[in-house]
Amino acid sequence: MMKKIKDYQNKKVLVLGLAKSGVSAAKLLHELGALVTVNDGKPFEENPEAQDLLTLGIKVITGSHPIELMDEGFALVVKNPGIPYSNPLIEKALALHIPVLTEVELAYQIADCPIIGITGTNGKTTTTTMIGLLLNADRKAGQARLAGNIGFPASSVAQEATAEDEMVMELSSFQLMGIDTFHPKIALITNLYEAHLDYHGSRKEYLKAKWRIQKNMMSEDILILNWNQEESRVLAKKTNATVLPFSTETVVEEGTYLKDGWMYYKNEAIMESKDLGVPGKHNIENALAAILVAKLHGLSNETIKETLTHFHGVPHRTQFTGEIEGRKFYNDSKATNILAAEMALSGFNRSKLILLAGGLDRGNTFDELIPSLVGVKAMIVFGETKSKLKEAANKAGIKVIHETENAETAVPLAFSLSEHGDSILLSPANASWDQYPNFEVRGNKFMDAVKKLKIK
């Protein structure tokens, strides 16, 4: 079980921001003998997590972030990944040279098993899920445990993991900014595009955060990179780790690649890309990265093919929802930006596709989406951005464009516009917060509406 480290005994530690990972970090530090103070913005009476921590004897300060907290002589601050470094408490901590970490660092310090770390702009969750499924197929001892940004706090999973397990950890740029000794045996960067610039300030800073995943790796460790991207090929020269490539564009014989519709590892044909249970070129990239991890673990080609053929996607990410009278429905509610929607659209025959899109207006136009919309059979728009999307659809030459109230009302309308052999795809290209608490609720409402169609 977990390593009982002594580093935090009787040390004063501040946990900033609760949510799942903050609660997990506070409980772990408390168990390791630290003198824990928790600070969260939500008022105490509306904060069941804070109430729960108080019963354990953890000091709890809620409702605001008093700057004088930093005068208490903390040895360490563990912050929620979403809290920016411009937060006054964090700025003060850094000015006082107090280390500021995220809980994935704590997870590494106590983990009794190897860690596989996965980061990148897109495809992290899908690739992490594929790797977890592959490494648990035919496994003789222990299990591959999913952790991190995928929804299971790393510091909780690390407490349960045994030496025979592995942690398959999805890591965001925010989490990676708060690591120090974190050292995965295998690290994987799915791809690098521009994202979260409001948090990082520039593309350069964002990439720097992602690249931290390999900072403690050595030559016996493996770093898997996307050879389609020139940026990755340049970065490959700047690491101590052993680099293995994957590519859908060139034959990279030391890694995994696509050739004549087949996915290869070294010179071995593993499976045809059309047999993948999830559509789209981006999912071929995700699968090639996952296959590379599977082959490093000695998995047979049969097991890999069997597992990836039956994998139908993570919830809300181009998730096959069902078929009604020859129309296939897909829920890609997790496409909260243009790039994610473009990735989804690349996996479909557009002449037989009805696209459902719309959501929160963040002030951007949809000009970048236009090339991906060309040839789409029909489009249904909703939410705050519906008129902007309608304009993009018109520019793309889509003949059939309808407005509707929301993702649910779009379903029967899409069905009425469709024919046998068509696909109906919810890929909003927008955040959900204008109408829904989160993308999961939006996706579930869409799937409920599909079920209602089936019942009729």
Looking at the domain assignment, is residue 7 inside a domain? no
Whether residues 355 and 244 share a domain: the answer is no
The DSSP result for 212-245, as a single string, is GGGTT--TTSEEEEETT-HHHHHHGGG-SSEEEE
Q: Which residue(s) pair with 269 in the sheet?
A: 264
- For residue 64, what are the CA distances in angstroms to 39, 53, 123? 8, 17, 36
Name the one residue in this structure whose structure tokens are 């690349």.
346
More reliable by pLDDT, 181 or 319: 181
CATH of the domain at 79: 3.40.50.720
Q: What residues contact residue 210 under an 8 Å CB cut-off, 6+ apart?
A: 119, 120, 173, 176, 189, 192
Whether residues 340 and 213 share a domain: the answer is no
Whether residues 254 and 116 share a domain: the answer is yes
Binding residues for ATP, as ranges, are: 120-126
Give percent of the chain above pLDDT 90: 87
Q: Is 15 helix (H, G, I), strand (E, B) or coil?
A: strand
Tens digit of each residue's pLDDT (9 = 90 or more) over 139-149: 999 999 999 98
pLDDT of residue 456 exceeding 70: no
What total number of domains does the chain contain?
A: 3
Binding residues, as ranges, are: 120-126
Whether residues 65 and 97 share a domain: the answer is yes
Looking at the domain assignment, is residue 2 inside a domain? no
Whether residues 391 and 252 share a domain: the answer is no
Looking at the domain assignment, is residue 282 inside a domain? yes
Amino acid letter for position 53: L
Tens digit of each residue's pLDDT (9 = 90 or more) over 187-224: 999 999 876 777 788 889 989 999 999 999 999 999 99
Report the C-alpha dihedral over residues 186, 192, 195, 199, rounded to 10 degrees.
50
- For residue 98, what are the CA distances in angstroms to 69, 70, 89? 13, 10, 11
Domain containing 300 equals: 104-309
Looking at the domain assignment, is residue 171 inside a domain? yes
Q: Is pTM beyond 0.85 here?
A: no
